[in-house]
Chain A
Amino acid sequence: MRVELTDVSKRFGDVRALDEVSMALASGDRVALVGPNGSGKSTLVRAVMGIVRCEGLVRLAGEDPFLHRTRLASYLAYIPQTAPQLGATVGEVTRAVAALRGLAVADIQSTATAIDLDLDAARRRPVRALSGGTKQKLLIALALAAPASLLIMDEPTASLDHDGRNAFFRLFDERAAGMTVLLCSHRLDEVRRLVDRVVLLEGGRIALDVPVTSPELAERLNAGSAWREEPGTGGRSSGRRVS
């Protein structure tokens, strides 16, 4: 799915969250949004999802996502960073998402199994009672079970351990083939593993838009002001984070 933003701005009171942002993702592009807290990453993602109204033009496959959100949401898969504090049980949430997406519950179950989540065991537990990692796996299973053309992820592995992260990467490789991907992340391993292009946001503006292999990006990383080492992360990834 093609994504286009032209001179997109958004204000929350006196705060300018996005300031005339323009960018485009061709169908199948994989782009990471990086930048410090408050740089506008979440607002930009929400504008693309059509849940905030912005100045300027936002288009998904040529349509305004705010006006045609319901139809476009059928093509969207979204993994939020944190799960809402739902009192509903895992079983209730799973059945609701299955109904809304026209899926069988077994589709979500098989996706959950692929990421080492036993949905049957967690079925009767309220979502808010799950551990951070289990919640994150549930969100991933709910998002990746349905066919989609645009995958939006906000720190999808932030609460996962090393094995969980590797399981997610395998599932991503399997399910996200051909999808347009928009990733918000502070984690360098995620960015390098999942996308081809990086957009750095600062103060609601695009400060850098380069391939993930760009020396300019590496320069920013090595400068150390915007990125820092995250202790305790293992594996082959560097585990560094954008602060």
Chain B
Amino acid sequence: MSTDPVAAGQAPSTLVRVGALARLEGGEVLRSRWLVFCGALYAALAALFVVVGVRESGVMGFTGMPRVLLSLSHALVVLLPLLALTGTGPGVSRARRDGTLELLFSHPITRDDYIGAVTLVRYGALFLPLVVLVSGLAAIGATVFHQPIPWALLTRSLVVSAALLWSFTGIGLAVSARVREPERVVMYLLLAWVLGVALLDFGLVGLMLQFDLPAAAVFILAGLNPVETARLALLSGTQPTLGTLGPVGFFLYDSLGPARLFAAGVMWPLLVGSGAWAMARWGLRTGDLV
């Protein structure tokens, strides 16, 4: 070889490569409509819950700012999967289609550098605004409404949201890395969200009554759904009733207790997300890049 950049000591370290790719991906995300939509949705939800929530009416024993946070977090349990799927799903698939991957992989980067940078940026773009939102709400409650900051609930909300976002970020990347046709990508992403929302035990109990679904199937389907386990983790710190948790949740709460239910409710979405992310990584490592 006439020129040897590697021998000349020009080969960049992993940190430099991932950093360079992350800045590029960050440029993409910052200028995409998706981030604007995501931020606007967070802000609208926060405003809505502040306007209707900071009153002395109670939800599950919570009033004021804790009530706002709990209601917001509960709404986010359903919305975060959709945001994560729409934010990560098209990423790799579009880059493959429009020639970005071909251009990037003509440079000395590894497939792991790329998926690592995309994951960091997309996950960060979903989670950091949420941290700002929840912390901002607590700060507003403390300064404007003179209410104590509900640290325990705030931390619980952020931990559960982080786990749920990771779960669906992994699923979105797996679909994006393994499915080529854009129409099929959208179909699989929607299917993942619909399943996550539909397989909550309230819906499943309805199905059980309607179609004689075995009770064991209801328990298994609900227990395997990361949206359900995240919801249970969020509510495990309250004084839940059968009506708020649903039959599966109430049974698990009764069997495991609040601490274990919280741990399981956070760990399961993390596991699902990690498994899906590993599939995305494997798809990129073994398949064609264009």
Tally chain A residues at the interface, Cβ within 8 Å: 46
B146 contacts the other chain (CB 8 A)? no
For residues 7 through 49 of chain B, which have their beta carbon under 8 Å from a beta carbon of chain A?
9-12, 16-17, 19-21, 23-24, 27-28, 30-32
Closest CB-CB distance, A149 to chain B, in whole Å?
A: 5
Any A CB within 8 A of the CB of B61? no
Q: Which residues of A contact B290 (CB under 8 A)?
A: 46, 51-52
B106 and A27 form a contact (CB under 8 A): no
Nearest chain A residue, comparing its CB with the CB of B289 = A51
Q: Which A residues touch B102, using CB under 8 A?
A: 46, 49, 51, 78, 80, 84
Contact assessment for B109 and A70 in the assembled complex, using a CB-CB cutoff below 8 Å:
yes
- Contact partners of A70 in chain B: CB under 8 A: 108-110
Within 14-63 of A, Cβ neighbours of B (below 8 Å) are at 27, 46, 49, 51-53, 61
Q: Are B2 and A179 interface neighbours, CB within 8 A?
A: yes
CB distance from B182 to the nearest CB of A (A): 14
B95 interfacial contact with A, CB 8 Å: yes
Tell me whether B56 is interfacial, beta carbon within 8 Å. no
> Which A residues touch B99, using CB under 8 A?
80, 82-84
Q: List B contacts of A93 (CB < 8 A).
A: 24
| Inter-chain contacts of A51 with B (CB < 8 A) | 101-102, 105, 288-290
Contact partner of B107 among A52, A87, A89, A101, CB < 8 A? A101
Are A53 and B288 in contact, with the CB atoms below 8 A? yes
Verify A99–B20 contact, CB threshold 8 A.
yes
Residue of B nearest to A149 (CB): B1
Task: Give the CA-CA distance A74 to B11 in the complex, in Å.
Answer: 8
B-chain residues with CB within 8 Å of residue A147 when the two chains form the complex: 3, 5
Q: How far is the CA of A27 from the CA of B6 in the complex (A)?
A: 19
0/1 interface trace, chain A 146-169, chain B, CB 8 Å (1 if under): 111100100000000000000000
- Give, as a whole number of angstroms, the nearest-CB distance from A233 to chain B: 25
Q: Does chain A have a CB within 8 A of B144?
A: no
Q: Which residue of A lies closest to B113 (CB)?
A: A70
Q: Is the CB of A49 within 8 A of B12?
A: no
Complex-state Cα separation, A70 to B112, whole angstroms: 11
Interfacial chain A residues near B2, Cβ < 8 Å:
1, 27, 149, 178-179
Which of A27, A53, A74, A96 contacts B20 (CB under 8 A)? A96
Minimum CB–CB distance for A18 against chain B, Å: 13
A49, B105: Cβ atoms closer than 8 Å: yes
With known contacts A46-B102, A51-B288, A80-B99, A1–B24 Cβ distance under 8 A: no
Rounded to whole angstroms, the CA-CA distance of A52 and B17 in the bound complex is 22
Contact B100 A84 (CB under 8 A): yes
Contact A126 B288 (CB under 8 A): no
* A-side contacts of B27, CB under 8 Å: 86-89, 92
Q: Is the CB of B109 within 8 A of A84?
A: no
Chain A residues with CB under 8 Å of B286's CB are 53
Any A CB within 8 A of the CB of B103: yes
Let me know if B243 is at the binding interface, CB within 8 A: no
Please tell me if B98 contacts chain A, counting CB pairs below 8 Å. Answer: yes
Contact of A102 among B12, B23, B105 (CB under 8 A): B12
Question: In the complex, A86 Cα to B24 Cα: how many Å?
Answer: 9
Is A192 part of the contact surface with B, judged by Cβ < 8 Å? no
Contact for A80 among B12, B32, B103, B109, CB less than 8 A: B103
CA distance A53 to B4 in the complex (A): 25
Tell me the nearest residue of chain B to A103, going by C-beta: B10
The answer to whether the Cβ of A97 comes within 8 Å of any Cβ in the partner chain is yes
B residues less than 8 Å from A76 (CB atoms): 106
Interchain CB contact under 8 A, A95 and B100? no
Instruction: Say whether A52 contacts B5, CB under 8 Å.
Output: no
* Residues in B whose Cβ lies below 8 Å from that of A46: 102, 288, 290
Given A51-B289, A53-B287, A96-B21, does the pair A78, B98 have CB atoms closer than 8 Å?
no
Chain B stretch 260-290: residues in CB contact (< 8 A) with chain A:
286-290
Residue from B10, B24, B28, B30 whose CB has the most chain A CB atoms within 10 Å = B24
> Can you name the residue of chain B whose Cβ is closest to the Cβ of A75?
B1
Chain A: which residue is nearest B1 at the CB level?
A149
Kindly list the 8 A-B residue pairs having the minimum CB-CB distance in the complex, ordered from nearest: A102-B10, A88-B27, A78-B106, A87-B31, A99-B20, A84-B100, A51-B289, A147-B3
Besides A80-B103, A99-B17, A139-B103, 11 more A-B contacts (Cβ < 8 Å) are A73-B106, A78-B102, A80-B99, A84-B100, A92-B27, A97-B107, A101-B12, A102-B5, A102-B11, A146-B5, A148-B3
Interchain residue pairs with CB less than 8 A apart (15):
A51-B288, A51-B289, A69-B105, A73-B106, A74-B10, A75-B1, A83-B103, A85-B98, A87-B27, A99-B12, A101-B108, A126-B31, A148-B3, A149-B3, A152-B106
